[in-house]
Amino acid sequence: MPRFRSFLLVSSFLFALGGATVSAAQIQGPAAPVVAGLATIYPELDALYIDLHQTPELSLHEEKTAAKMADRLRRLGFEVTERVGGFGVVGILRNGKGPTVMLRTDLDALPVEEKTGLSYASKVTAADDSGATVSVMHACGHDVHMTSWIGAATLLSKAKDKWRGTLMMVGQPAEEKGGGARSMLQDGLFTKFPKPDFAVAFHDSAQAPSGTLAYTSGYALANVDSVDLTIFGKGGHGAYPHTTVDPIVIAARTVVALQTIVGRENNPLDPAVVTVGSIHGGTKHNIIPDEVKLQLTVRSYKEEVRKRLLAAIERIAKAEAAAAGALKPPQVQVTDGTPATYNDPVLTKRVATALSQAFGASRVLETEPVMGGEDFSEYGRAGVPSVIFWVGAVAPEKYEAAKKAGTALPSLHSPLFAPDREATLKTGVSALTVAAFELLARP
């Protein structure tokens, strides 16, 4: 299958095909009879999507969202367990001897004020973990994921005569905080319930036309670590710097020195990012402060690279402080992040081949990994072959207009992000159904 550096290269395929929307009738291959029921259930799915979009809930507060998912699964005949690792939902549909296939969706939304102007835009506000009132929006498309997940569960449950095995539906909380998958695993996801033979998920893309799919074999998303660095000095009057140890100067030297980790210590063939995203220190022009705080995001794929980056950050910070005669070493705190997402190559090839057969090879393309993070990675690390793929979410006409004008499309997490609703949902439902059907046994 063709490989491309960016989804921005796919429009020539799409417009040659006359548009991006893929109807159930166009799906080819073994799953076609299963997906054929999508047209019938779509109005109900569309209503569910609008409801989810209008009623988003923050990470660790997904109570009503989880209840909606649980209720839908029960009505489809699944054995449902709620409050797994927080507000996690697990639905089990046993259908004879065969593999256990896990389909995962995330449930949570973001503290973002929606500015799309849609008639069904979110107007929800809620208290965040600090108690502050914030606007809430599904700015990352988790409402697309949930609706497609329910759609796939519906189609597969109505076609039990065509497959054998166990379908395991997992609704995961707190993906945006990076801890939901870990919490569910710690609460017995793979011990209280069947440990799946395969785990599958997708994420919508704000940079690709609807009707397109993409995948990456091997590393697909990065290790993500947050580092809080506090540099201590000795404050005083700005007119008498010789009586102080200036932490702002130490911080400046540290920021520059940190750039040498990727530039001079890391193998150029191993992707890595060390970004200082925040620096705060001081209160007034003529006061040298006692301390400066920095916040870093650190990205990598390989675990050995991850460890080396974090160790180098601490080493350099301490060395710069010591060189300046700081009275005590800096404080370095690493917040637990998300591990790199590794798509099992054998499983990825199998799923990509099935998707290509179903949608057409020109719509299913291989793409490069990205430095974003996803805690779907935890399931693979727990010993389950896993794959996550991408579903385009941009209306083709908007995509083409942005391309011609050279303007940027609204990204995920943007208050302006608005998926091309029908085309994205139909593609998401179909793709998830095709992937699951490929992995389940035939009667």
CA distance 144 to 26: 21
At residue 277, the pLDDT reads 97
At residue 87, the pLDDT reads 98
CA distance 326 to 229: 15
Residues 145-170, mean pLDDT to the nearest whole number = 98
**pLDDT, tens digit (0-9, with 9 covering 90-100), for 110-131:** 999 999 999 999 999 999 999 9
21 plus 100 within the same structural domain: yes
**pLDDT, tens digit (0-9, with 9 covering 90-100), for 205-224:** 999 999 999 999 999 999 99
Residue 230, Cβ density class (10 Å: 0-12 exposed, 13-18 middle, ≥19 buried): middle
* Cross-strand partners of 221: 341
Closest CA to 409 of 208, 221, 140: 208
Residues 179-197, mean pLDDT to the nearest whole number = 98
At residue 335, the pLDDT reads 87
pLDDT bin (cut points 50, 70, 90) of residue 13 is: very low
User: What percent of the chain stands above pLDDT 70?
Assistant: 94
- What ranges in 117-201 are assigned the alpha helix state H? 142-157, 180-186
Total domain count, the chain = 2
Residues 358-370, mean pLDDT to the nearest whole number = 95
Question: For residue 403, what are its two tokens?
Answer: 């391309």
Give the chain's mean pLDDT. 94
Placement of tokens 């095909």 in the chain: 17
212 plus 127 within the same structural domain: yes
> Could you list the residue range(s) of the whole structural domain that residue 53 is in?
3-221+340-439
Q: Measured between alpha carbons, how far is residue 96 from residues 77, 111, 137, 436, 443 in Å?
A: 15, 43, 40, 15, 9
Q: What's the pTM value of the predicted model, to 2 decimals? A: 0.92
379 plus 364 within the same structural domain: yes
Sign of CA dihedral 380, 384, 387, 388: negative
263 plus 408 within the same structural domain: no
**pLDDT, tens digit (0-9, with 9 covering 90-100), for 235-287:** 999 999 999 999 999 999 999 999 999 999 999 999 999 999 999 999 999 99
pLDDT at 150 over 50: yes
313 plus 356 within the same structural domain: no
321 plus 371 within the same structural domain: no
Q: What is the CATH number of the domain that holds 232?
A: 3.30.70.360
pLDDT bin (cut points 50, 70, 90) of residue 25 is: low
Boundary (domain end) residue, out of 280, 305, 338:
338
276 plus 130 within the same structural domain: no
44 plus 170 within the same structural domain: yes
92 plus 194 within the same structural domain: yes
Residues 367-390, mean pLDDT to the nearest whole number = 97
Residue 50, Cβ density class (10 Å: 0-12 exposed, 13-18 middle, ≥19 buried): middle
CA distance 285 to 301: 42
Residues 76-105, mean pLDDT to the nearest whole number = 98
58 plus 159 within the same structural domain: yes
pLDDT at 140 over 80: yes
Q: Is the pLDDT higher at 97 or at 335? A: 97
CA–centroid distance for 116 within its chain: 21
**pLDDT, tens digit (0-9, with 9 covering 90-100), for 385-442:** 999 999 999 999 999 999 999 999 999 999 999 999 999 999 999 999 999 999 999 9
Closest CA to 420 of 227, 274, 255, 210: 210
User: What percent of the chain stands above pLDDT 90?
Assistant: 93
Q: What is the CATH number of the domain that holds 15?
A: 3.40.630.10
127 plus 157 within the same structural domain: yes
Q: Which long-range contacts (CB under 8 A, 24 or more apart) does 312-319 make?
A: 312/261, 312/265, 313/227, 313/229, 313/258, 313/261, 313/274, 316/254, 316/257, 316/258, 316/260, 316/261, 317/229, 317/231, 317/254, 319/257
Placement of tokens 């995001």 in the chain: 297
Are 394 and 411 a contacting pair, CB within 8 Å? Answer: no
Lowest mean pLDDT among 5-14, 211-220, 287-296, 378-387: 5-14
Boundary (domain end) residue, out of 323, 338, 353:
338
Residues 297-306, mean pLDDT to the nearest whole number = 97
Residues 134-140, mean pLDDT to the nearest whole number = 98
165 plus 26 within the same structural domain: yes
- Residue 221, helix vs strand vs coil: strand
* Strands of the 198-209 sheet, one edge to the other: 3-4, 364-367, 213-215, 386-394, 198-209, 100-106, 165-172, 88-95, 79-84
Boundary (domain end) residue, out of 315, 338, 361:
338
Catalytic residues: 108, 175
